[in-house]
A and B are shown apart, each in its own frame.
Chain A
Amino acid sequence: MIVAERKPMDEIVAMLAPHRKVLVLGCGGCVTVCLTGGEKQAELLAGQLRLAARQAGRTLEAAFDCITRQCEREFFDNLTEDPRTYDAVLSIACGAGVQYMSELYPEVPILPGMNTTFLASNVAGGVWEEYCRGCGDCVLAWTGGICPITQCSKSLINGTCGGTNNGKCEVNPEMECGWLRIYERLKALGQLDNYRTLRAARDHRKDRGGGVRRLVLKDMAESQESGNE
């Protein structure tokens, strides 16, 4: 899932300063699951913004709403509020939601209430940890199911560097050395040859080097096109 965390209040207040009537819009997708950008958080944030404005001697009309997902067109039909009747929308979806909504409502400023951070798993109560970088060229088959792109701070592909320190990474004593974990796991699986194999330099066009990435399911895209005709 995608994790996003709320921007600092000061930054949001500054962002909204030119506006009098604002809609805080939650998203029922990933950010609801990680308890940062769902309906509850939208309601809470709208209240906090009204209070902050009052304390600063300004008036702010802040309503809230939430839809199932801000990254899909059909769900915008379920809005109870009309964004066009507001000065601005503060979206607390991930960056995909904010941008997609901006395309759907070109006449309304859609502002980001969140910093979108990483692809995560929920590893403990209230704790989400990064597991995937979306690099576009998954290597987990030969790394014992542990991602070196994510779990190694240098995203190395040929094994541990000299910065592994008592099993920890040089960048952070709290962070385990990803390659040491891969080594231990491959050893336990009897697959150390996967560590020994020389790995070629990566093709960064599959990552971020080739511009915007798209997934096109040909059959579906074609049938939709003909249906539209």
Chain B
Amino acid sequence: MSEPVSKLESALRAGTFVFTGEIGPPKGTHIEPVIHEAVASLKGRCAAVNVTDIQTAVMRASSVAGCKLLLDAGVEPVLQMVCRDRNRLALQSDLLGAHILGIRNVLALTGDHTTLGDHPQSMPVYDLDSVGLLEAIVRLESGTDMGRDMKGNPNQLDGSPRFFKGCCVTPCAEVVDPQIIKLEKKVAAGAQFVQTQAVYDPAAFEAFMRNVESLKVPVLVGIVMLKSAAMAKYMNRSVPGVVVPEWIITRLTEASKEDRQKVSIEICGQLIRQMKSCCQGAHLMTLGWDHCVPEIIAAAEA
């Protein structure tokens, strides 16, 4: 087995339960608070931190810029890359650029549709899909790109990148089999780790994990912090493949306003405790409540 290319890869190979975090670049240039918060709350606790790529199709500063600033601050980034906004030329170019800047983890995603975001008139690209993007990364690693020279041979790169390549899956989709087949294709295309969509149903997740056991890739279960009962209900209504069970909504409803954050942390901790024996890590999506990460990890390890 070749040398790990990132701390995230090393940690997952070592077999310890791994935490990853997530930050979203700002809409604007004022990125310092986001990086500061990541350093204060995630550094040393998360093996790596994802930087979202124009999440939910709402225009924001680039993921590459956020990743570079995290690197400079001593936090290992995971570059999220969606297929919505760039064709294969731009995706490959940005992958080379990311490697040049020192970024070593990439998460290949399809990307929410343009019409869901704040520029609904824009062109949805999807020149490659998430499987195609993973194949493109592997191609670059092999020293060629997706193009051909005049003689029809693959273009040779002057220096090739190496990445630890990830993908996403929705384990609790109402029809999960097509999701599992797609995951199998992503792994066949080169995915080496999985960060899942939010999971609130440990039993469904365990069943899912049994189904993908043969894939032999580490899976980090997705944990999205629920800030209120209203948010939980919103997710049930509007977020595909996410079901927040009644017991969680009840606990959030019963919590007083000042207790809500504490209850939310406890729920995350409880979910991770219930699922940690069947997966290799947890991907914490705190949606700006980065300061809760140390307590979530403590609760998960209690």
Contacts and interface: CB of A to CB of B under 8 A. Distances in A.
**Interaction A to B:** yes
B124 A154 contact: yes
Contact of B129 (A154, A180, A192): A154
B126 A196 contact: no
A201 B110 contact: no
A91 B276 CA distance: 66
Contacts of B132: 157-158, 200-201
A51 B240 CA distance: 50
A195 B182 CA distance: 8
A162 interface: yes
Nearest to B116: A170
Interface in A163-197: 163-167, 170-171, 179-180, 183, 192, 195-196
A179 B177 CA distance: 12
B175 A180 contact: yes
B240 A164 contact: yes
B110 A192 contact: no
Contact of B185 (A153, A159, A165, A200): A159
A162 B185 contact: no
Given A170-B112, A170-B116, A171-B116, A201 B127 contact: yes
Interface string B97-135: 000000000000010110110000000101111111001
Contact of A180 (B178, B184, B188): B178
B126 A154 contact: yes
Interface residues of B, number: 37
A167 B113 CA distance: 16
Interface stretch (B45-53, B166-174, B199-207, B256-264): B166-174
B113 A159 contact: no
Given A166-B174, A198-B188, A160 B116 contact: no
A167 B175 contact: yes
A163 B185 contact: no
A155 interface: yes
What are the 8 closest A-B residue pairs judged by CB atoms, nearest first?
A165-B240, A159-B182, A158-B131, A161-B110, A183-B178, A201-B132, A156-B129, A154-B126
Interface of A: 153-167, 170-171, 179-180, 183, 192, 195-196, 198-202, 204
